[in-house]
Amino acid sequence: MFTVGTVSQLASVVLLAVLLVVIRPEVRSESVWWGLAAGLFTSFGGIALYRGLATGDSAVVAPLSACGAVVPVVFAFATGEAPNALQSAGIVLALGGTVLISLPQGGVRFADANHLQPVLLGVAAAVGFGMFFVLVDQGTSTDGDALVVVGAARAGALVFVSVAGALTKSLVWPGRDLPKLALVGIIDVTANGAYALASNRGNLAVSSVLASLYSVQTLLLSRLFTEERFTRLRIAGAACALAGVAAISAAV
């Protein structure tokens, strides 16, 4: 886990450093601090997610972690940036669909009698991911800010993950997997950059919910590469998510 995180984060930091040198955006201290905080929260969320999955209760942890977009939605309503009625309906559909897609084929069942730990880890992951959306949005006022915030977030995440890996002595040389892990980091940071730009241009709640629909692509890719079956529940979830996207798009 820490090896994957360290290599992918390092690749993204190198890419962002090159972009910062080439584009030379204005670097505001506020954007840097918001970005660093975002990086720490998303790292915390990732560790909570993987620890939760390691308990064997992925059926509980995965759907809960998929609710991370609830955090920026609540924040948007609390700060007076509530979306309109049609967008709100789309958000509900998209969030519901995301949770349904995240449910495993066997449904929700605890692996043992210790129900509290996987629930807490799933909620912790959701809070970590959700706070990332909020903090990136808070630090982004211009397109240049978006690059600075994401760069700081990645730097903060790199420090957090690499130090945690060193302390737990779980860092290993990735060998032949190095290019693949680097590509993961580049794809991930591209998605983060797209979200930062979207949140700067539109509503926080809408942007964060749309950015959380990666589970739909994961479902399609798992079918393509692992021949995982589409359950009726997951098909219904995908339909809800896409209907939510359509509603949000129609309201823009």
Q: Percentage of the chain surpassing pLDDT 90?
A: 21
Category of 107 on φ-ψ map: left (φ > 0), alpha (ψ -120 to 50) or beta: left
**Tokens 């890419």 -> residue:** 15
What is the model's pLDDT at position 202? Answer: 80
What is the model's pLDDT at position 14? Answer: 92
- 3-6 contacts at long range (C-beta below 8 A, 24 or more positions apart): 3/165, 3/170, 3/171, 3/172, 3/174, 3/181, 4/174, 4/181, 4/184, 5/43, 5/46, 5/157, 5/161, 5/165, 6/158, 6/161, 6/162, 6/165, 6/171
Of 105-109, 113-117, 139-143, give the lowest mean pLDDT range.
Answer: 105-109
pTM for the model: 0.82
- CA-wise closest residue to 150 among 48, 52, 53, 38: 38
Residue 23 has pLDDT above 80, yes or no: yes
User: Over the stretch 188-221, which tens digit does the pLDDT of each residue have?
Assistant: 899 889 999 988 888 888 888 888 877 677 667 7
Domain boundaries, the chain: 2-251
User: How many Å apart are CA 132 and CA 87, to the nearest integer?
Assistant: 22
- Rounded average pLDDT over 62-83: 83
What is the model's pLDDT at position 107? Answer: 54
Q: φ, ψ for residue 114 (rounded to 5)?
A: -85, 80
What is the model's pLDDT at position 132? Answer: 93
